[in-house]
Structure 1
């Protein structure tokens, strides 16, 4: 239990004792830590209280030259009863997943920036051994340089080169994979231009090939991602004053060894999509659709998806309840005997796409997913969600979030695959220190019962995370 003792000591050291308070509000702690901007501290008299004493370390008399230091300690315990509904080996006592991270963000001037982040991900207890998303003992998670020529006419352009985490939109297609222990990152380039109410990103990168050792990862040269992603945050007709935001994008994808129920072939895929999202009063929404085409071996790709989330919150009522309805569908392959492929590919999605249990991914499916959110006090958030999950095409199977085949069709004509109920409690002790408890009840439905082991699934997760 040496890791638990180390983690507790590290958290106690990092939280420390309060110092002198400073003016100004710190930025939110972001999923991508390099998106946080602490330059406001240049106008705040020193000394700073913890952890702002590490957030703005100036060099000489230039206010634009400073260093930001931060990091993360995450301890997670997971226990799954009947993993993948009884198909995978049973962990005897559960799994301990640990993640430690430290980053430095050096702003040399307004035109040059260096960002480096070291991460250690450790695993103990997995019955079938560590997977690439469980353990990576020590590696550069981010190591890039930003080159910014300067602003003109209200626009700011940046070229980012090196290893970098990438999230596009709401993470349905490209995300860092926060749920698993090892986050996803890419090697390559990203350029972006930000204007008043809009942003355009151009990406050309390959994913990192994760290995378990120390500084032994490399670029995965069998896969590639490229494209352009645009965001427009302005009132859009015909909605008048409704503040809707529109994303339009094209993403190209290559994988030399893509595997579907149909087989394994070289895949070249092109995705054109649109996302409309925003909020008005007590309503918020996030709707997205896209079409994919390309080549899979000697066959053609013809795939699509539609994803919707609509939320209503009663902010003036005790516990501030909110209800979210999510209805989603993604194409599957309807004929395994021809060379064409109809299965949707989510590219590099969230690792916990439907739940923290992370059993199924968004391919060949349709589902109805409803959420109830409650906030009894400011520090405590409660969530109850219920998910009904079906196969779309009976000739195709079910896939994991990373794309592995969970179940082949096995001549079953059943669509209904599973029902899952999840309960989540999240308590925030202070800025950056959060405890989360989750339990998921999974029930196999007709398709799982007809094809392979089909035991009830139980998933428990306890996570203590401190980010500074």
Structure 2
């Protein structure tokens, strides 16, 4: 799969006035293969370019080369999705050296009522360990989807350690209910705490402790028909002392969605 793209910039002056944004480009070559039956092995090489990037320790033209490898599959009740990412390049006059990894694993008890699944999600993304050293270590998640953690979007995939155990049950064939707790730390206290998409929280870089906070998540999904599904998600986020000292506070989120596909 090959992609060559230039995102669109909205003008917000009138309807349908978007235009190509020459300040950003993203290109990618991806290969996929089924191994061992239904296990999906994939890898991609990408190039991300931005003309006016701003980070805590660097500003200027950003060029990132991306390497990514992923393995996903299921067997005998177990399921897994494991991914590793490397980023190299330059940002202004400085070099980029960033990395990240993530995994989602679980086991489903098919013989029990409600078919409970016990899951564990682990994530880590690098931060910038030392200001002024000529190197940018903050991982760039590029175009992140907050759904990866929760739809609340309280945390970004930069300078992050994330541990999320969960339990999912199916009281009905078309209904699933998931409860989860997410625990969050910084990979390094020298860098900031980040929110979606990768925005640094002012007053957190070089301040406080690794612990960022925790969230509790409750989500229900229901398939009304093969083409129509709905979901309700509630999240309570409790900030750590570092965010509280920076002016942050606990938050609650409630979201409802209805999807129609064909």
Alignment of 1:365-380 (within 5 A): 365-380=160-175
Displaced runs of 4 or more, over 6 A: none
Aligned length: 261
Q: Does 1:424 align with 2:219?
A: yes
Match of 1:229 among 30, 44, 55: 30
The verdict on how the C-alpha distance between 1:343 and 1:215 changes in structure 2, with shifts beyond 3 A counting, is same
Query: Higher strand fraction: Structure 1 or Structure 2?
Result: 2
The residue number in structure 2 matching 1:206 is: 6
Residue number in structure 2 paired with 1:435:
230
Aligned to 2:97: 302
RMSD value, Cα: 1.7
Residue of structure 2 in register with 1:272 after alignment:
67
Quote how far apart the aligned CAs of 1:203 are: 1.5
What displacement does 1:454 show?
3.0
**Residue 76 of structure 2 corresponds to residue 281 of structure 1:** yes
Cα pair 1:245 1:278 within 8 Å, conserved: yes
* Higher alpha-carbon deviation: 437-446 or 258-267: 258-267
Instruction: Please report how far the alpha carbon of residue 256 of structure 1 lies from its aligned counterpart in structure 2 after TM superposition.
Output: 1.0
Equivalent position SS for 1:352: helix
Aligned CA distance change for structure 1 residues 453 and 214 (closer, same or farther; 3 Å): same
Aligned residue in 1 for 2:119? 324
Name the SS of the counterpart of 2:204 in structure 1: coil
Shift of 1:402: 2.1
Unaligned stretches of 5+ residues in structure 2: none
C-alpha deviations, 1:203-259, integer Å up to 9, x for none? Answer: 111122245552212222111111211111122xxxxxx753211211111011222
Is residue 191–residue 205 contact of structure 2 (8 Å, CA) maintained in 1? no
1:397 aligns with 2:192: yes
Higher mean displacement: 219-228 or 345-354: 345-354
Partner of 2:50: 255
Q: 1:368 to 1:351 in 2, by over 3 A?
A: closer
Cα offsets for 1:310-369 (capped at 9, x unmatched): 111112211111111111101100112233200111112223331110121100111101
1:458 partnered with 2:247? no
Match of 1:340 among 135, 140, 151: 135
Q: Distance in 2 between matches of 1:371 and 1:355?
A: 12
**CA distance change for structure 1 residues 408 and 352 in 2, over 3 Å: closer, same or farther?**
farther
Shift of 1:423: 0.6
- Based on CA coordinates, which of the two structures has the bigger radius of gyration? 1
Residue pair 1:360, 1:401 contacting (<8 A) in 2 also: yes
Partner of 1:467: 261
Alignment match, 1:133 = none
In structure 1, the residue corresponding to 2:217 is in which secondary structure? strand
Say which structure is richer in helix. Answer: 1
1:431: how far off? 2.7
Deviations 1:157-189 (A, max 9, x none): xxxxxxxxxxxxxxxxxxxxxxxxxxxxxxxxx
Relative to 1, partners in 2 of residues 1:221 and 1:408: Cα closer, same or farther, differing over 3 Å?
Answer: farther
TM-score (normalised: structure 2)? 0.93
In structure 2, relative to structure 1, the CA distance for the partners of 1:282 and 1:210 (3 Å cut) is farther
Once residues 247 and 459 of structure 1 are traced to their aligned partners in structure 2, the CA distance between those partners, rounded to angstroms, is 34
How far apart, CA to CA, are the structure 1 residues paired with 2:202 and 2:171? Answer: 40
Query: Which secondary structure state, in structure 1, belongs to the residue aligned with residue 6 of structure 2?
Result: strand
Aligned to 1:383: 178
